[in-house]
Amino acid sequence: MSKTCEPAGQAALSICEALLLAMNDGGLLSESGILGLLRDAAATHENAVASAGEPEKHQAVADLINGIIVGGNSVRRS
């Protein structure tokens, strides 16, 4: 990954996290809805490991998303 892409990816991740938290705070998306969205995103990349190019990149993305789910970064857990 280029040095330019890394900050862009981190910025995108931070923005998405803030949006998920705002949607939850505003009652637009429940905690279970956010977790479902994250699980779907991880599953998309897990499925791409076997069928698409760059399997290591897809697995790394899936692992990152699954880490977010476990860490609870994008959900204010009650």
- At 41, which amino acid appears? A
pLDDT digits (tens, 9 = 90+) for 7-30: 999 999 999 999 999 999 999 999
Confidence (pLDDT) at 78: 60
Is there a contact between 49 and 59 (Cβ–Cβ < 8 Å)? yes
Supply the DSSP string of 8-76, one letter for each residue. HHHHHHHHHHHHHHHHHHTTSS-HHHHHHHHHHHHHHHHHHHHHSS-HHHHHHHHHHHHHHHHHTTTS-
Domain boundaries, the chain: 5-71
Higher pLDDT pick, 43 / 71: 43
Confidence (pLDDT) at 5: 77
Confidence (pLDDT) at 57: 92
Average pLDDT over residues 47-69: 91
Confidence (pLDDT) at 47: 94
Confidence (pLDDT) at 6: 86
User: Please, which residues have CB within 8 angstroms of residue 48's CB and are 6 or more apart in sequence?
Assistant: 55, 58
